[in-house]
Amino acid sequence: MVDLPEEMTTIWSCTNEECNGWMRDNFVFLVQPVCGQCNALMEKSEKMLPIIANTSPNQTKTTR
Ligand SMILES: [Zn+2]
Question: Ligand 1 mean position to 29 CA, how many Å?
Answer: 17
Ligand 1 centre distance from Cα of residue 9 (Å):
19
Distance (Å) from CA 52 to ligand 1 centroid: 23
pLDDT of residue 23: 93
pTM score, whole prediction: 0.70
**Within 10 Å of residue 33's Cβ, how many Cβ atoms?**
17
Please, which contacts does 47-55 make with residues 24 or more away whose CB atoms are closer than 8 Å? 47/8, 47/9, 47/11, 47/13, 47/22, 48/6, 48/7, 48/8, 48/9, 49/6, 49/7, 49/9, 49/11, 49/24, 50/4, 50/5, 50/6, 51/4, 51/5, 51/6, 51/7, 52/24, 52/26
From ligand 1's centre to the CA of 57, what distance in Å?
32
Domain spans, the chain: 11-50
pLDDT tens per residue, the chain (64 residues)? 778 899 999 999 999 999 999 999 988 888 899 999 999 999 999 999 998 866 555 555 655 5
